[in-house]
Amino acid sequence: EARIRFEKIFAGHGLGFGRFNIYTLYVDYGFSLMMLKRYEDAIPHLMHGLGLNEDVPHGLNALGYSLMQLQRPQEAQSVSQ
């Protein structure tokens, strides 16, 4: 259900989100994809959101976890540094 809502928000060009909070849309969508075990799909959204605001612990965790699930430990380790 959350994935469907995120997709509707993205289809509406992120209405209701501004420069100050758009990162949350990407990080939380990536987190939802990670929870659905869609790791490959989650990574670009997490990286984009974290590129806008890197101070999001659950986003960093989700990115590291997704990378580990895809057998990419070097990249996962660099997330925490």
pLDDT tens for each residue of 7-17? 777 776 666 67
Residue 22: closest CA among 61, 55, 48 = 48
Q: Give per-residue pLDDT as tens, 16-45.
A: 677 778 899 999 999 999 999 999 999 999
Residues 29, 8: Cα–Cα separation, whole Å:
11
Residue 45: closest CA among 28, 26, 61 = 26
pTM of the model: 0.83
